[in-house]
Amino acid sequence: MIRAAAQKIINRKECWLMKCLIIDVVSPAIAEELGKYMEVTTCKQLPPSKDELKAEIGDVDVLIMRVDPKIDKEVLDAAKSLKVIGVCSVGLNHIDTKYAEEKGVQVFNAPGLNGNAVAELTICKMLELSRHTIPAHRDVTVNEKWDKYAFVGRELRGKTLGVLGFGRIGQRVGEIARVFGMKVVAYDPYLPAEIFAKNEATSMSIAEVCKVSDYITIHMPLNDETRNLFNAKSIAEMKSDAVVLNMARGGIVNEKDMCEALKAGKIGGYATDVLENEVAGDGLTADAGFRSPLFDCDNFVVSPHIGAQTVDASRDIGAHIINKVKEALDLK
């Protein structure tokens, strides 16, 4: 028993030789808990640029981040001691996971824990576009007009919602949509039929979803198959008053084609929480600029990737990442 206690003290001393670097705004519980086992530092600039990260990551054992900057071969080679990357989000397309594995670096994300937050934001944007709340607010506060007849909207009740990517987030969006009286159709080639049945959704191809839906919400990863999935061709197959919502990744929707469709009145609206060049190169931290032609379009709503930005999601994700890091490093 004494030997075990002594070994525990030795292990704790070894842990204190380790360093953790936090490079984004995450749950404070992560620093508090991991600080019991290792030295925890938070970057002054959140998130740092790629060059700033390379300068600091040399002796870091644990990296805690979200989606910026890009963790490529160059960054991983600069990390001489890195053992774990804890990603407080779902997507991993900003990390060279294959090279990280070759370097013996474990990468953990937090799938599903921001699902409700993203789903609620999706419904929020559906309502914003359907009821024109943003231009109505601007008309009252900026133009000082009180003209309710200028903002005639439509209800979600009785409309068809198409969900592309019917995982945790997509299913939750469908669940909420049904409360509004919407019919749910969905595309996800990786799910068995019983999942669609359980969630009262009709399984369809992408083309079928585009044809029948009044609203289409995207919850798919960005990869070679989904890049530019929504382009001039797919938009032409949709109803002229259909609304597209992208809470997934920039690049799935071709912004040039979407802009042209909005200006030509070929689509009812586009709401997004992401942009094509959001994580391009070094991301927005490198002042790459993110001006989009969509900014000049009517019936367009954008937010700066705030899908998971709730205190509730942050708490749940923080607890998950803490457990994964402690498990990976055998911290007792």
Q: At what angle do helices 311-329 and 115-131 cross, to 10 degrees?
A: 150
Q: What is the DSSP letter of 24?
A: S
What's the whole-number mean pLDDT along residues 64-77? 94
Q: Are residues 27 and 158 in the same domain?
A: no
Q: CB–CB of 285/69 below 8 Å? A: yes
Which member of 172, 249, 255, 276 is catalytic? 249
Other residues' Cβ atoms within 10 Å of the Cβ of residue 161: 28
Structural domain total, the chain: 2
Q: What is the DSSP letter of 283?
A: G
Q: Are residues 100 and 129 in the same domain?
A: no
What's the pLDDT at 8? 44
Alpha helices in the chain (DSSP H): 2-15, 28-34, 50-56, 73-78, 97-102, 115-131, 133-141, 168-179, 193-198, 206-212, 232-236, 255-263, 311-329
Which member of 33, 219, 278, 320 is catalytic? 278
Q: Are residues 86 and 27 in the same domain?
A: yes
DSSP line for 139-151: HHHTS----GGG-
Residues in the chain: 332
The whole-angstrom separation of Cα 176 and Cα 119 is 8
Residue 7 pLDDT greater than 50, yes or no: no
Within-domain flag for 158:
yes
**Residue-number span of the structural domain to which 160 is assigned:** 115-302
Q: Are residues 148 and 293 in the same domain?
A: yes
Q: Are residues 77 and 123 in the same domain?
A: no
Q: Is 249 a catalytic residue?
A: yes
The whole-angstrom separation of Cα 130 and Cα 153 is 5
Within-domain flag for 325:
yes
What is the sign of the dihedral through the CA atoms of 197, 198, 201 and 207? negative
Q: Are residues 174 and 295 in the same domain?
A: yes
pLDDT, tens only, 79-135: 999 999 999 988 788 899 999 999 999 999 998 899 999 999 999 999 999 999 999
- Determine phi and psi for 203, rounding to 5 degrees: -75, 130
Q: Are residues 105 and 162 in the same domain?
A: no
SS3 label, residue 199: coil
Pick from 158, 153, 164: nearest CA to 244 = 164
Q: CB–CB of 70/283 below 8 Å? A: yes
Q: Are residues 260 and 164 in the same domain?
A: yes
Q: Lowest mean pLDDT: which of 43-52, 148-157, 272-281?
A: 272-281
Locate 264 and state its tokens: 């030509």
CA end-to-end span of the chain, whole Å?
16
Mean pLDDT of the chain: 91
The whole-angstrom separation of Cα 108 and Cα 131 is 39
What's the pLDDT at 181? 98
Within-domain flag for 307:
no
Residue 2 pLDDT greater than 70, yes or no: no
Which residue's structure tokens are 């191809």? 205
Within-domain flag for 232:
yes
Which member of 66, 94, 219, 305 is catalytic? 305
Q: Are residues 263 and 134 in the same domain?
A: yes
Give bridge partners of residue 22 from the DSSP assignment.
42, 64
What's the whole-number mean pLDDT along residues 142-151? 96
Q: Is 278 a catalytic residue?
A: yes
User: Domain containing 125 — which CATH number?
Assistant: 3.40.50.720
Torsion of Cα atoms, 156 then 186 then 222 then 229, to 10°: -80
The whole-angstrom separation of Cα 256 and Cα 296 is 12
What's the whole-number mean pLDDT along residues 26-53? 95
Within-domain flag for 78:
yes
Q: Are residues 273 and 152 in the same domain?
A: yes
Pick from 133, 209, 132, 134: nearest CA to 170 = 209
Q: Specify the pTM.
A: 0.83
Q: Are residues 264 and 230 in the same domain?
A: yes
What's the pLDDT at 93? 84
Q: At what angle do helices 115-131 and 168-179 cross, to 10 degrees?
A: 50
What's the pLDDT at 111? 87
What's the pLDDT at 67? 85
Q: Lowest mean pLDDT: which of 29-43, 102-116, 277-291?
A: 277-291
Which H or E run includes 278?
A: none
Q: Are residues 90 and 122 in the same domain?
A: no
**Residues with Cβ < 8 Å from 220, sequence gap 6 or more?**
164, 165, 226, 229, 248, 249, 252
Q: CB–CB of 230/262 below 8 Å? A: no
